[in-house]
């Protein structure tokens, strides 16, 4: 660092000329090549593809996936959310940008767009604002109105917590923390579809919604009118079969009851998931909830294969499923 200061050059400029042993030289050269590769990809081409490439080849994703703590899983979710935001930037027009800026879909263009949006956010908005925070950060706090968003399977609860009873219990405790932050009004929402891992996903409502006693729910229409759900069937039970239609949001107050079982298309006792790498185009497969389907197409890399499957006998029968996380049984 002293040499950089004396010469007026940056550490990066001095890197090729540092006097170090051969082992350190090889490591520095490899690092320099990697960063230069990332820099070129950031300045040109497709922002989402560049971001995925950098996240993978930097070793970041492997390190995050190896951390199975709650904090580690949250960090991985944050990176995936960032990638989803970059994908939306690539496929849509950016707010507050010129036509020339909107044509720049590189990673550098995305960063410029984020900087512009941040500048817009720094204006004085007075006292009329919403505080955005994680459930962990909300512990011990209360607010007159609370919005809990993203109540979808594999998001809340997280897909990384769904394989064990302990993981689900921890997610359920976090949900309890979230809803008990409300002093007067609580609104629970979920999205019919959203970008996940660079693909548009159709979502199942969170099991935590299905577990709520309907006597304490009001269904909100798109126009803002509310009707009681007391005595009616759950609006969430069959929602996954109609994912392309508009979904309700729900305001909730009061107590909870034990979860009611979801309707399954296959018998869990005889269901035997097949290895995801064995699933190929043209195969007939069985899904616990969606039933029998045919694999129409598979795209994506080895670790992120996404199958387009046509399921028989359900509304919105064509689904895109990430095979790494799906449980499918090969029928033939």
% of the chain residues with pLDDT over 70: 73
Q: What value does the mean pLDDT take over residues 217-228? A: 56
Whole-angstrom Cα distance, residue 13 to residue 136? 42
Region of poorest pLDDT, from 20-24, 172-176, 277-281, 325-329: 325-329
Which pair of structure tokens corresponds to residue 135?
Answer: 């459930």
Number of C-beta neighbours around residue 38 at 10 A: 17
The DSSP bridge pattern shows strands 318-322 and 306-311 to be antiparallel
- Considering the segment(s) 276-330 as one domain, its CATH architecture is Beta Barrel (2.40)
Look up residue 12 and give its two tokens.
């990066």
For 197, left (φ over 0), alpha (ψ -120 to 50), or beta? left
Please compute the mean of the pLDDT values over residues 53-75 and round it to a whole number: 86
Q: Report d(CA 259, CA 42) in Å as an integer.
A: 47
Q: Where in the chain is the domain with CATH 2.40.10?
A: 276-330
The pLDDT-based confidence of 3 (bands split at 50, 70, 90) is: low
Q: Are 317 and 310 in contact (CB under 8 A)?
A: yes
57 Cβ contact list (under 8 Å, min separation 6)? 34, 37, 38
On the question of pLDDT at 183 being above 50, the answer is yes
From-to residues of CATH 3.40.50.300 in the chain: 135-252
**Segment 134-157 mean pLDDT:** 88
Assigned CATH topology for domain 135-252: Rossmann fold (3.40.50)
Q: Is the pLDDT of residue 66 over 80?
A: yes
Predicted TM-score (pTM) of the model is 0.43
């Amino acid at each position: 660092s002293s040499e950089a200061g004396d010469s007026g050059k940056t550490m990066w400029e001095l890197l090729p000329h540092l006097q170090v042993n051969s082992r350190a030289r090889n490591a520095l050269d490899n690092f320099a090549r990697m960063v230069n590769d990332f820099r070129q990809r950031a300045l040109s081409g497709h922002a989402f593809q560049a971001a995925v490439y950098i996240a993978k080849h930097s070793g970041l994703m492997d390190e995050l996936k190896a951390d199975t703590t709650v904090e580690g899983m949250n960090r991985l979710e944050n990176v995936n959310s960032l990638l989803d935001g970059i994908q939306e930037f690539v496929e849509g027009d950016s707010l507050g940008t010129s036509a020339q800026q909107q044509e720049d879909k590189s990673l550098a263009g995305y960063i410029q767009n984020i900087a512009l949006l941040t500048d817009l956010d720094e204006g004085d908005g007075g006292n009329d604002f919403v505080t955005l925070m994680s459930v962990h950060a909300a512990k011990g706090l209360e607010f007159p109105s609370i919005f809990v968003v993203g109540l979808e399977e594999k998001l809340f609860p997280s897909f990384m917590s769904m394989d064990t009873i302990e993981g689900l219990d921890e997610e359920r405790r976090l949900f309890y923390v979230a809803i008990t932050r409300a002093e007067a009004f609580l609104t629970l929402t979920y999205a019919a579809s959203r970008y996940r891992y660079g693909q548009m996903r159709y979502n199942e409502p969170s099991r935590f919604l299905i577990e709520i006693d309907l006597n304490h729910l009001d269904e909100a229409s798109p126009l803002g009118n509310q009707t009681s759900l007391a005595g009616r069937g759950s609006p969430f039970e069959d929602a996954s079969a109609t994912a392309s239609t508009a979904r309700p949001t729900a305001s909730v107050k009061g107590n909870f009851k034990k979860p009611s079982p979801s309707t399954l298309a296959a018998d869990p006792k005889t269901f035997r998931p097949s290895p995801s790498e064995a699933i190929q185009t043209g195969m007939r497969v069985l899904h616990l909830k969606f039933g029998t389907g045919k694999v129409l197409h598979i795209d994506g890399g080895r670790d992120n294969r996404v199958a387009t499957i046509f399921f028989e006998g359900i509304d919105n029968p064509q689904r895109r499923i990430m095979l790494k996380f799906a449980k499918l049984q090969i029928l033939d």
